[in-house]
Structure 1
Amino acid sequence: MMNQITIIGLGLIGGSLGLALSNSKKIPQVVGYDIGLSSIQEAVAKGAVHWGTTGLKLAVEHADAVLLAVPVGQMKKIVQNILPFLKNHCIIFDVGSTKNDLLQELSPMIPPKIYLIGGHPMAGSERAGISGAHPYLFENAIFVLTPQGHSNEQALKTVVELVELVGAKVKMMSPEVHDQIVAGVSHLPYLVAVSLVNTVHELSEELVDAPLLAAGGFRDTTRIAGGDPVMWRDISLSNRDNIIKMIDSFEKHLAEIKNTLEIRDENNLIHTFTQAQKNREQIPITYRGALPEVYELLVTVPDQPGMLSIITGSLGNRSVNISEIEVLQVRENQEGTIRLAFQKKSDLDCALDILLKQGIPVKRR
């Protein structure tokens, strides 16, 4: 394995990769680079990197591999800036969300003894930045690698080992096919979520109670719209042709539903909805996919002092990590409901078992 890996960009993905690699104890030096000193300090404090710097030369000059975890639009400039400082046989491993245009742009810049491998972890969160980083973000997630015909075999083997080290499952794919697929399963859902949120906002200007009724399920449906706008700007422009094709297809299906409603065709509505139900059941559930995933419990608690600390304490004592806590409803002198979210299904299962044994009403969401 390697002696030093440098992560450029200590946001959600870079920070989570750092945490997973550092926790593995297999990489002696995980180094972080970021333009924000506060991000570096938080990454060091969380254990995502052993040390960090705002100096590119210092960050990469001894690196065996450099992980690019910055928005796609920034990668070309970053690569240009680090190339003079890289040692021979260093691997540049980008984890950008689009691949074809990026690799076509970067490949001609790479000298013979530097190796470029493209990748994309199919995992994420609506939380941006190092504060949202989690060591198990990639656990059981598909991690697409997009080697090109001239990719170095040993470099590719090393990257596969790194991906497996963070708990992900490798899937080899051409850059072109990758971009076509993610346009449908990742990029279109983001744009649909954005459109949904903005549509309901317009509705709320006329009907002020709309946000109140949009809580719960609507927030879950549009969770991805909380992603980093700069990142999504770069993704959308980089994969625009494939995304436009997906928008055309989506508009066609939505227009068909609109027409069915206009003519009050009950049978066709049932057919459309049933077909969607069947199609959804065919989506694999073994691996985590492109959209943010979270495992949730709803806990009913009495309105008594210290109940929240009892719940969190009992889970903490069993090393169950809670990623989010949300108080959904509390009525004075009555029961309340708390949402607990977990990054790992194993944490949810353990929490469910602990709380049920304590007689606390709880159910999966």
Structure 2
Amino acid sequence: MTQNVFVIGLGLIGGSIAMACQKAPHTKVYGYDVSQQTRELAKSLHVVNEVVDEIIEGAKIADIIIFGTPVNATLEWLEELKDWPLKENVIVTDTGSTKGLIMAKGKELQECGITFIGGHPMAGSHKSGVKAAKPHLFENAYYMLTPLKNENEEKVQELEQLLKYTLAKIVKVDAQEHDHMTAVVSHFPHIVAASLVHQLDAEQRHYPMTTLLAAGGFRDITRIASSNPYMWRDIVLQNRQELISQLDLWLDEMDRVKNILLSNEQDSIEEYFAIAKQVRDDLPITTGAFYTTYDLYVDIPDYPGVISEVTGYLAEEHISITNLRVVEAREDIFGILVISFQTAEDREKAEKCISKRTNFEIFAS
């Protein structure tokens, strides 16, 4: 018997899940997107087996419905879904990065006799849209499920059985725990990165050269500030209480740092950085909540053609890169070539490739 999966929203996340689900046996994947162009692309690129032009058309035949839409749009669709002609045992899930409001709506659906299991695949890409979708996007990433406390375990297992074809690490957590943890490791760091950029903007009005000096480490630690502002507007509003709590803790931490500096004690200052280094170095290397690059730093001498030489070696071994930049390159000194990769495996291959062909110093981060 064929299992019908219906994916609503065929961007990067929805499209990638749709492609992964096609690997499941006896499964047919239907897709819908509000954009006709996206629907046509999804069909031509084989992101789904079939597209539907009307959302009800796909919903009424679906055994599992997956919303790959932004949280606000998902909330609106879930309200409409209450009146859709659904199969009796249909399972509905989403992919949103905040779960509080979504699970409140899921509770309403449960009261209507509809199974809703919240979901959040914690991976992304530097690209967006259906053209960027790929079946292995979530490989080795965490895929968090937030079922209601009284949810039928068989339904949860049925959804897990399908999602295992994403090759993600599926974990179950409470919705409130989810929103707290993602606030700590993803949402709040975006606010910090944005605030640092705002501070730089204010400084460069008086010291214009500051921006030029920010091309190295500052650019690295504030990379996430370049994320979509509309998406982050919604995330911040949806998870505002958790973020307010994190801001309070951050202000306390900054007061602690200020007091350490006021004390002017070398040992206390060194200890502060030492503890931070240890904690950071012990962090697991895995795919996080949003797109992460795998960077390789190469000390290169400054002579004509050195960058094309390095990238040529990678091309010879068919190693793809996602970004390339020079942190520092001046006459008579070594510059730092930063090469970004999609996966840790690609970075490891690149490190071996360059090491066996050059004597350049290389380190990963």
Q: TM-score, normalization: structure 2?
A: 0.84
Deviations for 1:183-236, whole angstroms, at most 9, x for unmatched residues?
Answer: 211111111111112221222222222222212322221222222222222221
Matched-pair contact (CA < 8 Å) for 1:89–1:113: no
Q: Quote the offset at 1:137 in angstroms.
A: 2.9
Q: Indicate the larger mover: 8-17 or 151-160.
A: 8-17
Q: Deviations over 1:47-67 (max 9, x none)?
A: 433343553123433222121
CA contact (8 A) 2:216 2:328 kept: no
Report what 1:70 is aligned to: 69
The residue aligned with 1:166 is 166
Q: How does 1:127-146 map to 2 (within 5 A)?
A: 127-146=127-146
Q: Secondary structure at the match of 1:206?
A: coil
Which residue pairs with 1:32 in the alignment?
31
Aligned to 1:275: 275
- Residue aligning to 1:48: 47
Contact 1:12 1:133 in 2 (8 A): yes
Take 1:189 and 1:293, find their aligned partners in 2: how far apart are those partners? 13
Report if aligned partners of 2:313, 2:353 keep a CA contact under 8 Å in 1.
Answer: no
Could you tell me whether the CA contact under 8 Å between 1:90 and 1:113 is conserved in 2? no
Amino acid at match of 1:103: M
In the alignment, does 2:256 pair up with 1:256? yes
Q: Is the 8 A contact 2:63 2:91 kept in 1?
A: yes
Deviation of 1:116 after TM superposition, in Å, equals 0.6
Q: CA deviation at 1:118?
A: 0.8
Q: Which residue of 1 aligns with 2:321?
A: 322
- Cα drift, residue 358 of structure 1: 4.5
Q: CA RMSD in A?
A: 3.3
CA 8–190 in structure 1, closer or farther in 2 if over 3 Å, else same: same
| Counterpart-to-counterpart distance in 2, 1:220 and 1:27 | 45
User: Is 1:148–2:152 an aligned residue pair?
Assistant: no
Q: Distance in 2 between matches of 1:172 and 1:311?
A: 43
The alpha-carbon distance between structure 1 residues 254 and 91, as it changes in their structure 2 partners (threshold 3 A), is: same
State how far apart, in whole Å, the 1-side matches of 2:80 and 2:14 are. Answer: 19
Shift in CA distance, 307/223, structure 1 to aligned 2, threshold 3 Å: same
State how far apart, in whole Å, the 1-side matches of 2:44 and 2:323 are: 20
Structure 2 unaligned segments of length 5 or more: list them.
none
Asked if the contact 1:72/1:231 (under 8 Å) is kept, the reply is no
CA distance 1:213–1:327, change in 2 (3 Å): closer
Structure 1 contact 66–93 (Cα < 8 Å) conserved: yes
* Aligned pairs for 1:286-301 within 5 A: 287-298=286-297, 300=300
Asked if the contact 1:125/1:227 (under 8 Å) is kept, the reply is no
Q: Establish whether residue 193 from structure 1 lines up as the match of residue 196 from structure 2.
A: no
Query: Could you tell me the percent identity over the aligned residues?
Result: 32
1:1-365 alignment, distance < 5 Å: 3-22=3-22, 24=23, 26=25, 28-53=27-52, 55-83=54-82, 84-110=84-110, 114-125=114-125, 127-285=127-285, 287-298=286-297, 300=300, 303-304=304-305, 307=309, 310-311=312-313, 313-316=315-318, 320-326=319-325, 339-359=338-358, 361=360, 363-365=362-364
The CA distance in 2 between the partners of 1:335 and 1:41, in whole Å, is 49
Distance 1:309 1:31, change over 3 A: farther
Partners of 1:341 and 1:26 in 2: CA distance: 35
Partner SS, residue 205 of structure 2: helix
Could you tell me how far apart the structure 1 residues matched to 2:132 and 2:161 are? 25
Q: Give the SS at the match of 2:317.
A: helix
8 Å contact kept, 2:314–2:353: no
Is the alpha carbon distance of 1:353 and 1:270 closer, same or farther for their aligned partners in structure 2, counting shifts above 3 Å?
closer
- Partners of 1:53 and 1:331 lie apart in 2 by 56
Structure 1 residue 70: deviation in Å? Answer: 1.7
Unaligned 5+ runs, structure 1: none
Name the CA shift for 1:304/1:283 in 2 (closer, same or farther; >3 Å).
Answer: closer
